[in-house]
Amino acid sequence: MHEHRTTAPLAVVTGGSEGLGLAIADALAADGANLVIVARDRDKLRAAAEELGRHGTTVHTVSAELSALDAPAQIAAQVADLTDRVDTLVNSVGAAHFSSLADTTVDAMHTMWHLNVQVPLLLSRHLLPALLNARGSIINISSYWAHKMVAGRPSAAYSATRGALNSMTLALANELGPQGVRVNAIAPGAVHTPTYERSHLAPMTVEQRTAHDQRIEQSYPLGRLGTAHDVAAAAAYLASAQWTTGAVLAVDGGLTVR
């Protein structure tokens, strides 16, 4: 006999105050999930919670500096004070530093390894009892940079962390599947988020922006950058897809088929 759920599912979303994390939290709340959103900036968290609250589900916030080594344990402890069941864990926080091999620093490597690999692994570990309790799922946000390189933009250290996250996703799907927990990842193409706007588009001249737009049209079969909603729709699917585990879903407008 299947257990009858009398309460709404609960989703924990790191990086839930803006960009992809906020869009994913919004999509999950629209499907009826209560939320715990995790981010560093308290003001952004407050604004995000107010925005997400329009769906009528409960929104909790956890302010945490994920670069701290003890952050996963501290976040899990705060979640445990709220619930003993986690239906969906979305590991959305990450860091990207692009540099040539000659210019790659140990500090940049450590930062990316910690945020892109260790935090998802350790947060999954600390929340595992709650995930097992709910027979829930983990969704890791990866990147096309795990296996698609771009001329003139060296990415060895960053690509290595994304490849590791993909491999970790497959290994955890294999390990946790028999216990009823699904583990999947999303590998987005370039997505027009606030971070992309600030770090990539804003510094461009008009001529550079025109060239950028032309490259996007040529590189992507669907002819455009992604939106946060595109990725959020995929996350909502994976959160509910009860016979899908071990998938690294390309949500990239066809970028990786060329």
Contact criterion met (CB below 8 Å) for 184 and 246 = yes
Average of pLDDT values for 168-196?
A: 96
Where b means 16+ CB within 10 Å and e means fewer, 112-137 reads bbbbbbbbbbbbbebbbebbebbebb
Strand, coil or helix: what is 141? Answer: strand
Query: What residues pair up with 39 in beta bridges, in sequence order?
Result: 63
Contact criterion met (CB below 8 Å) for 58 and 34 = yes
Model pLDDT, residue 6: 57
CA distance 87 to 77: 16
* Single-letter amino acid code for the residue at 162: R
Model pLDDT, residue 85: 98
Contact criterion met (CB below 8 Å) for 228 and 22 = yes
DSSP-derived letter for residue 53 is G
Q: Which CATH class is domain 10-191+227-250?
A: alpha beta
Residue 2 has pLDDT above 70, yes or no: no
Residue 118 has pLDDT above 60, yes or no: yes
Task: Report CA 239 to chain centroid distance, whole Å.
Answer: 13
Active site residue 158: yes
| pLDDT band, very low/low/confident/very high, at 5 (cuts 50, 70, 90) | low
Q: From the DSSP assignment, how many helices (H) and strands (E) are in the chain?
A: 10, 7
For residue range 127-171, list pLDDT tens digits in order: 999 999 999 999 999 999 999 999 899 999 999 999 999 999 999
For residue range 31-76, list pLDDT tens digits in order: 999 999 999 999 999 999 999 999 999 999 999 999 999 999 999 9
| pLDDT band, very low/low/confident/very high, at 4 (cuts 50, 70, 90) | very low
Residue 187 has pLDDT above 90, yes or no: yes
Average of pLDDT values for 238-247?
A: 98
Q: Of these residues, 158, 196, 220, 237, which one is catalytic?
A: 158
Model pLDDT, residue 7: 84
Model pLDDT, residue 200: 85
What is the residue extent of each domain of the chain?
10-191+227-250, 193-225
Mean model confidence pLDDT for the chain? 95
For residue range 82-108, list pLDDT tens digits in order: 999 999 999 999 999 999 999 999 999
Contact criterion met (CB below 8 Å) for 14 and 78 = no
pTM equals 0.94
Task: Report CA 171 to chain centroid distance, whole Å.
Answer: 18
φ/ψ (deg, to 5) at 248? -115, 100
Residue 1 has pLDDT above 50, yes or no: no
φ/ψ (deg, to 5) at 237? -65, -50
Average of pLDDT values for 11-21?
A: 96
Model pLDDT, residue 195: 84
